[in-house]
Amino acid sequence: MEQLDLSDLFTTRAEANDFLARINTISEMLFKTDFNLEKVLIEQLGINKGDRFLTILRENNINVSSTQAIKIFFHTLSEKILAMPVIALTVAFEPQAQTLKAVSEWFVINMKQQMLFDITVDRKIVGGAAVTYNGKFFDFSIRQTFERIMQNYLTRHTQAHAAVAQIAKTTTQQANQNDIHKTG
């Protein structure tokens, strides 16, 4: 169980915690006399995730009829999940599961490990993302660029408005002087 990609089962820290709770529930049921692993996996994880988990068991050569082997695997799996690195992502929108899965797979392929995401939505960042990993903060948002563009626009708009106001004032003054000269 060297490198284990569980991104089909979870991608966020919250999902991983939920998965661990479900695995613990299954683990508590293991030694019941009427225990049926496939049935319990589907009940706890759903059909797709239950099937994926059975595949993971087979890929790791776990004898699905050995409750002791399953229990040991669950314990080892739980330790691996708890040790997964977490990346805090602040984004401007709620990411879709498909997006998180694609990013998670990128880490598995390129960094050789699955990362868990701790997602925060902050519409103020406008777009992009702010990332915190290993105590380091990286701002890849477009908030500052957007604010700079808006400030430039407002400055130009204010200057243009002031210029138009000045022209109107000058024109009014000239018209008033012309009226004075005509009546005088």
**pLDDT band, very low/low/confident/very high, at 130 (cuts 50, 70, 90):** confident
Who wins on pLDDT, 75 or 3?
75
Q: Which residue has the higher pLDDT, 63 or 163?
A: 63
Q: Which amino acid is at 7?
A: S
Query: What is the gyration radius of the CA atoms in the chain, in angstroms?
Result: 31
Residue 108 scores a pLDDT above 90: no
147 has pLDDT over 80: no
Task: Report yes or no: 122 and 89 within 8 Å, Cβ to Cβ.
Answer: no
Question: What's this model's pTM, rounded to 2 decimal places?
Answer: 0.72
Task: Report how far residue 103's alpha carbon sits from residue 87's, in angstroms, rounded to the nearest whole number.
Answer: 11
Strand partners, 130: 90, 139
* Residue whose entry in the numeric block shows the structure tokens 């890849």: 140
Spatial distance between the Cα atoms of 108 and 175, rounded to a whole number of angstroms? 75
Q: Among 32-36, 91-95, 154-158, which is the least confidently predicted range? A: 154-158
User: Per-residue pLDDT averaged across 126-136, rounded?
Assistant: 87
Q: Would the pLDDT of 4 be above 80?
A: no
Query: In this predicted structure, what is the pLDDT of residue 179?
Result: 66
Question: Within a 10 A sphere around the Cβ of 45, how many other Cβ atoms?
Answer: 20
